[in-house]
């Protein structure tokens, strides 16, 4: 692992690190904010998964999360959204290929050799940061935006007992029924739609749910709301009687202005679970 940068930030440290990823078969970069409390011992962890076209950097510089995390004594991890490098397959469209990993393990050509973002976020990166930083990996929570909200919800439900809480900003909630999902799941996982279900938050909610609190925010003026399908997740939550707070925020869109506005709510929500 190589240190790309470390900057003083809200009394703690915002670092950027690169390492050789076995899961993705390339070098991967991630951001990690450590609050001041990490100097005295392990601190709880909040993962932030970013959306389409993003790298580790977008949320790290735009979401305004570090100040709220510093108040709560929580570390923030900002993974990348896909494999990188000349060997990783790509597509001309912004919503497939680099920057659009969708947090799945691809099984289809040409994606399978590198696009293994589920394994990277679920197994490889947690092991790496747990070994090298003062993190309490028994206390983890996860959040994300758009494609990252999809990843946060599906990872939380797909890894029972891993996360104490999950939240999402404008998540892609029902990708098997959306153009933001069917295209990518078909490309990465193939035509057998039975393999898609574990990567659909609404279907997973109906099937297994989540043993903990959920918070989701979506803007009523989100330009992609028809692709996000928040109503499908709401229906599944209601049918399952899942503990969840699902909010439609009047006038907000899909941007990081929206994310940063409600970041304090989300960090506080996770802090309550992480320190319970």
Q: Is 255 part of the annotated catalytic residue set? A: no
Is 254 assigned a catalytic role?
yes
Catalytic residue among 146, 165, 167, 173: 146
150, 254, 266, 270: the catalytic one is 254
Handedness of CA 200, 202, 206, 212 (dihedral sign): positive
At 5, give phi and psi (nearest 5°). Answer: -165, 155
Is 95 tagged catalytic? Answer: no
Find residue 31's DSSP bridge partners: 16, 78
161 burial (CB, 10 Å; 0-12 / 13-18 / 19+) is exposed
Say which of 50, 150, 222, 266 is annotated catalytic. Answer: 222
Task: Estimate the crossing angle of helix 65-72 against helix 256-274, to 10 degrees.
Answer: 10
**Which of the residues are catalytic?**
146, 222, 254
């Amino acid at each position: 692992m190589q240190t790309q940068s470390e900057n003083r930030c809200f009394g703690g440290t915002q670092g950027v690190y690169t390492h050789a990823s076995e899961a993705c078969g390339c070098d991967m970069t991630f951001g990690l904010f450590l609050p001041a409390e990490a100097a005295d011992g392990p601190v709880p962890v909040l993962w932030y998964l970013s959306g389409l076209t993003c790298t580790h950097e977008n949320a790290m510089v735009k979401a305004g999360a570090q100040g709220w995390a510093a108040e709560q004594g929580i570390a923030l991890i900002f993974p990348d959204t896909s494999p990188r490098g000349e060997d990783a397959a790509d597509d001309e469209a912004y919503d497939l290929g680099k920057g659009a990993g969708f947090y799945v393990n691809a099984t289809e050509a040409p994606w399978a050799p590198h696009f293994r973002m589920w394994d990277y976020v679920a197994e490889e990166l947690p092991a790496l940061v747990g070994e090298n930083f003062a993190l309490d990996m028994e206390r983890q929570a996860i959040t994300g935006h758009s494609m990252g909200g999809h990843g946060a919800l599906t990872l939380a439900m797909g890894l029972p007992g891993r996360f104490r809480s999950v939240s999402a900003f404008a998540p892609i909630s029902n990708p098997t029924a959306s153009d933001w999902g069917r295209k990518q799941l078909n490309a990465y996982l193939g035509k057998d739609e039975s393999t898609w279900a574990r990567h659909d938050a609404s279907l997973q909610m109906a099937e297994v749910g989540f043993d903990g609190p959920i918070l989701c925010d979506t803007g009523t003026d989100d330009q992609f709301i028809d692709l996000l399908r928040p109503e499908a997740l709401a229906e599944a939550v209601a049918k399952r009687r899942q503990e969840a707070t699902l909010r439609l925020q009047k006038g907000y869109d899909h941007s990081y202005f929206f994310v940063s506005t409600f970041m304090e709510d989300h960090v506080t929500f996770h802090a309550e679970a992480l320190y319970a």
